[in-house]
Amino acid sequence: MKQQIVDETNTATLNFISGHIDVEAPSNLIISSTSTFDIDKTGDTLARLVIDETNQLTYNYISSHIDLEAVESLVVSSTTQFEVEKSTHLFESIVNLRRLNDVGRINKFLESVNSKLRNGGLFVGNIDTYSLRKKKILERYPPVINWCVYTADFFVHRVSPKVWGFKKIYFLFSNGHNRLLSKAEMLGRIYSCGFEIVEEAFFKGRFHFVVRKIKKPSFDYSPTYGPLITLNREGKNGKIIKVYKLRTMHAYSEYLQEYVYKQNSLQAGGKFSGDFRITTVGKVFRKFWIDELPMFINFVKLELKLVGVRPLSKQYLSLYPEEYRKRRRKYRPGMLPPFYADLPKTLDEIIASEKRFLDAYDKAPFRTNWQYFWKIFCNIVFKYARSK
């Protein structure tokens, strides 16, 4: 308990508190909460307290997945990981009634939940997505004023927490509370912290979710928020390289490839259909190939060549046959893949297209690159072949 208090406050605060009470004594209650919930729950029926803290519909949703009264369930209403960390044993389920937008260190909170859950344990939470908040603001205020309010809200609570310089100011004044989060970013954070989605639902102006612990967190200490990002892709001989691109997706989207594939599978051309991870600006960047320009950095570093098979993520590459994966690793990936020469529709056609390129490349490397470059050039310029 002492270490949790130090993490939540500081050593001086711990010394002050310890000078008056025994923080380890079971008869003492120590909380870190802006709600009376964590005090009241020690002396009243939990069902009534959950309803008072949220609403009847939220209580029904939570209780349909877990037994709130069970000893193996932990229910908190907190914006910090303290209420989770102070527990000394593992749980089958954990519920946080507060929206994750108000949690100062979201990933730290989710990592703490992961550490206190048994394998297969459930976590129930909710967020206010920026699309939901946009709808609320536009409906609440009269025309023109509503867009002004939304623009200001978007900049303060969505943009500034992710921009160097503004980020420090934002957290100084807000302590990370009331951040605007997209559904894609929140789900990406959840998956990066070792969970998978069991169920999701929209009601009472919130996005509610039930997730299951499946592994330990990834502990991503350097997530990318800015316009220039690096993506882990498999290079020659299976070496993982950092491919430079301009951001076209929400932060943490790279952790959602398996989720999106399960939800929507692949569309024509091998891309994920209905991919909600792509931003509005990202669609424009992809249409005009703007997002691909930073890949010239990889070209200069000799990690990519001009024409070659596309550098793929570990998850997407897992869709390929094992034998072909072994062959593919023998070649340096390219900036312009054979996809844009043949314009295949399905994954099998994409693989067949790559195999034809590699077969021809093995026989005549220079001639193959030359022929494919001009074919790709014509398809992009005259047939408007684009990444979606």
CA 239 to chain centre: 24
Task: Report the number of distinct structural domains present in the chain.
Answer: 2
User: Measured between alpha carbons, how far is residue 36 from residues 5, 49, 259 in Å?
Assistant: 19, 10, 36
Give the residue with greater pLDDT, 20 vs 189.
Answer: 189
Q: Which of 213, 237, 254 is the last residue of a domain?
A: 213
| Residue 205 and residue 348 in one domain | no
Q: What is the pTM of this model?
A: 0.74
* Residues spanned by the domain of 312: 228-382
Residue 288: the pLDDT is 84
Residue 147 resides in a domain: no
Q: In angstroms, rounded to a whole number, what is the distance separating the alpha carbons of residues 386 and 246? A: 16
How many angstroms separate the first and last alpha carbons of the chain? Answer: 51
Burial annotation 255-282 (CB, 10 A radius, 16+ → b, else e):
bbbebbbeeeebeebbebeebbbbbeeb
Structure tokens of 8? 């939540």
Q: Which of 213, 245, 278 is the last residue of a domain?
A: 213
pLDDT tens digits, 114-154: 999 999 999 999 999 988 999 999 999 999 999 999 999 88
Averaged pLDDT, 173-183: 85
Averaged pLDDT, 312-325: 90
Backbone φ, ψ for residue 43 (5° rounding): -140, 20
DSSP state, 116?
H
Residue 220 resides in a domain: no
| Residue 55 and residue 26 in one domain | yes
| Residue 198 and residue 62 in one domain | yes
Residue 371 resides in a domain: yes
pLDDT band at 34, cuts 50/70/90?
A: low
| Residue 233 and residue 372 in one domain | yes
Averaged pLDDT, 172-198: 90
Q: Smallest Cα–Cα separation from 85: which of 197, 189, 1?
A: 1
| Residue 201 and residue 85 in one domain | yes
Give the residue with greater pLDDT, 292 vs 225.
Answer: 292
Averaged pLDDT, 43-69: 87
| Residue 36 and residue 165 in one domain | yes
pLDDT band at 43, cuts 50/70/90?
A: very low
Residue 152 resides in a domain: no
State the CATH number of the domain containing residue 165: 3.40.50
| Helical (H) or strand (E) element with 59 | helix 56-63
Helix 56-63 vs helix 46-53: crossing angle, to nearest 10: 130
| Residue 239 and residue 358 in one domain | yes
Q: In angstroms, rounded to a whole number, what is the distance separating the alpha carbons of residues 311 and 144? A: 45
Residue 170: the pLDDT is 82
Helix 257-264 vs helix 183-192: crossing angle, to nearest 10: 120
Strands 91-96 and 73-76: parallel
Residue 229: the pLDDT is 87
Helix 347-363 vs helix 365-382: crossing angle, to nearest 10: 140
| Residue 242 and residue 365 in one domain | yes
| Residue 85 and residue 183 in one domain | yes
Query: Which residue bears the tokens 């519920």?
Result: 95
Residue 100 resides in a domain: yes
Q: For residues 193 and 217, is the Cβ–Cβ distance under 8 A?
A: yes
| Residue 208 and residue 265 in one domain | no
pLDDT tens digits, 257-315: 888 877 776 555 556 666 888 888 888 898 888 999 999 999 999 999 999 999 998 88
Residue 325 resides in a domain: yes
| Helical (H) or strand (E) element with 212 | strand 206-213
DSSP state, 119?
E
Residue 68 resides in a domain: yes
Give the residue with greater pLDDT, 35 vs 365.
Answer: 365
Q: In angstroms, rounded to a whole number, what is the distance separating the alpha carbons of residues 323 and 285? A: 34
Residue 143 resides in a domain: no
Q: 354 pLDDT exceeds 90? A: yes
| Residue 236 and residue 350 in one domain | yes
| Residue 194 and residue 281 in one domain | no
